Amino acid sequence: MSTYISNGCICVMVPDIDKAEKFYSNVMGLKLLNKSDKQLVYNTIHFTLFVEKNDVVKPPVPSFTVDNINEARSELVDAGCEIVDEGNNWMWFKDPFGNVFDVIEQ
């Protein structure tokens, strides 16, 4: 059975990345670590905040690490979870209640 450990990352989605940068940098005073056309990355001291451009705003996505992404994927699918998106060493899945989580192979 896979062990899920928080990696201290949370992702939020915004429709306007420039407006988001002004808010998170200027209003909240967060330290910008990285910036691209589609993503901002902030250090909040206790966690890393990923701000991603997405036309559909959704609830925040907590992130976890596992030792083996393929094993975790199999266990989640067997448990009835929906894989929302995935790459070589990561995936987003919906739990049985519709919450979305990010999982990254360590």
Mean pLDDT of the chain: 96
Alpha carbons 53 and 40: distance in angstroms, whole number? 9
- For 3, 46, 50, the CA distances from 35, given in Å and listed in that order, are 31, 20, 10
pTM for the complete prediction? 0.86
Topology of the domain comprising 5-105: 2,3-Dihydroxybiphenyl 1,2-Dioxygenase; domain 1 (3.10.180)
Report the pLDDT value the prediction gives residue 34, as an integer from 0 to 100: 98
pLDDT of residue 37: 97
CA distance 73 to 77: 6
Would you state the pLDDT for residue 44?
94
Q: Which of 60, 62, 46, 49 is nearest to 23 (CA)?
A: 49
Domain ranges of the chain: 5-105
Confidence of residue 80 (pLDDT cuts 50, 70, 90): very high
Across 66-90, average pLDDT: 97
Residues sharing a CB contact under 8 Å with residue 31, sequence separation 6 or more, in sequence order: 42, 43
Query: pLDDT tens, 16-66?
Result: 999 999 999 999 999 999 999 999 999 999 999 999 999 999 899 999 999
Q: What percent of the chain clears pLDDT 70, i.e. is strictly above it?
A: 100
Please report the pLDDT score of residue 26 as a whole number.
96
